[in-house]
Amino acid sequence: MEKYSIKKRDLVTVIESPVDFISVDHDKCVGCKDCVIICGMDLWKIRGSKAVLEPDYKKFCTECASCYTVCGYDAIEFTFPPAGYGDRLRKGLILPLFIVKYYVRLLK
């Protein structure tokens, strides 16, 4: 069966949070790079053997919390952005898109 994929970023609007929702404690970070490896949006870098977030991470972070989860040194703090900020799915777009794809498959 043909696999349909949707680019997530095409379906998401980001309303940038006015406050930080991820931080790293450099006293705890050992520079293991696990956060760098796991972040699908490539928002972590190692500088001077410590993890740092891209300054504009709030524009691109998908709030997956993978960095927080993977850090075995408890160096990353993560909270979701305040209500009304962050990723918003475009609900009006998703359903019609799936319906069109469903009928296109039936016609094949």
Summarize as ranges the residues that interact with ligand SF4 (CB under 6 A). 22, 24, 29-35, 38-39, 41, 43, 51, 57, 61-67, 70-71, 73, 75-76
Residue 58's beta-bridge partner residues?
A: none
* Rounded Cα distance, 35 and 53, in Å: 10
* Residue 15 near residue 86 (C-beta atoms within 8 A): yes
**Least separation in angstroms between CB 86 and ligand SF4:** 10
> Least CB distance from residue 57 to ligand SF4, whole Å?
6
In the complex with ligand SF4, which residue's Cβ is closer, 85 or 97? Answer: 85
The smaller minimum CB distance to ligand SF4, of residues 12 and 65, is found at 65
Amino acid at residue number 108: K
Nearer to ligand SF4, 17 or 76 (CB): 76
Closest CA to 106 of 34, 94, 24, 98: 98
